[in-house]
Structure 1
Amino acid sequence: MPPAHSPGWEDRAVAWLLDHCPPDYRTYGAWRRHPLALAWLADRHLDGQVSAMRQAYREVRVELGDDLPATALAEVIEQLEREGLRLVAAKRAAGLVLEALRGTVFVPRL
């Protein structure tokens, strides 16, 4: 995504935000017309996904431990960890996009 406030960055931000929301969100014109609203909603959607992933990670051994072979359970746990990290990073990025759409100017630090 181009730096915030550079030409065309909002269009790229909208596309990125829609990539992190359910596919049906693409059918709602208001999200494209009002990127701030989309960023606000995407931030909440990702927050929900992070919460769900954390709960799944906490419960997977109890819920599936008797039903999966140990190797499969280990694989599922590893992928839950990986997806959790991806979602946390996406949540942070969506929050930064939301701040930028609200007018925050980010200054590079040395």
Structure 2
Amino acid sequence: MVRADDVVPPGWPEEVRPPGAPDWERTAVAWLFDLVPPDYRAHEVLRRYPVLLARFAGDHVAAGLEAARKGWRTVRVELADQLPADAIEAAVAAYEREGARLAAAARGVEVVAGALRGERWVPRL
């Protein structure tokens, strides 16, 4: 039996079935919509063209990642006189977790978008 991680590139989201599996594009679209604001679901063009949805999701995730990085860099200085030290450290940890989550999502969007464009990943020996 072929496992999903044998046929998908590193970073492939668990929520998305492998390319070629039944309904894989439907699972990709659902996952991509989960990455963007709910209002994006109102845009028929994003439903009709999953490659475009992937572009929107990639842009949205990249903006969130940049915001998390900026927050991580600046929270200590900008809020040091307004929050206790433990709150600052908790905020830094939250920014780190969110940054890691968004970096993984960005990689997932990249590989899913490639598959939606018809690219196929071949494992190297």
TM-score of the pair, normalised by structure 2: 0.84
- Show the counterpart of 1:64: 79
The count of residues paired between Structure 1 and Structure 2 equals 110
Q: Equivalent of 1:101, from 116, 121, 125?
A: 116
State the 1:108 CA deviation: 3.5
Could you tell me how far apart the structure 2 residues matched to 1:6 and 1:41 are? Answer: 24
Could you tell me how far apart the structure 2 residues matched to 1:107 and 1:7 are? Answer: 20
| Unpaired stretches in structure 1, ≥5 consecutive residues | none
AA in 1 matched with 2:102: L
The reply to whether residue 79 of structure 1 matches residue 94 of structure 2 is: yes
Instruction: Return the structure number with greater helix share.
Output: 1
State the 1:105 CA deviation: 0.6
Secondary structure of 1:5's counterpart equals coil
Matched-pair identity in %: 48
Could you tell me how far apart the structure 1 residues matched to 2:49 and 2:20 are? Answer: 16
State the 1:28 CA deviation: 1.1
AA in 2 matched with 1:33: R
| Unpaired stretches in structure 2, ≥5 consecutive residues | 1-15
C-alpha root-mean-square deviation of aligned residues, in Å? 1.1
State the 1:6 CA deviation: 2.0
Q: Equivalent of 1:45, from 35, 56, 60?
A: 60
State the 1:45 CA deviation: 1.0
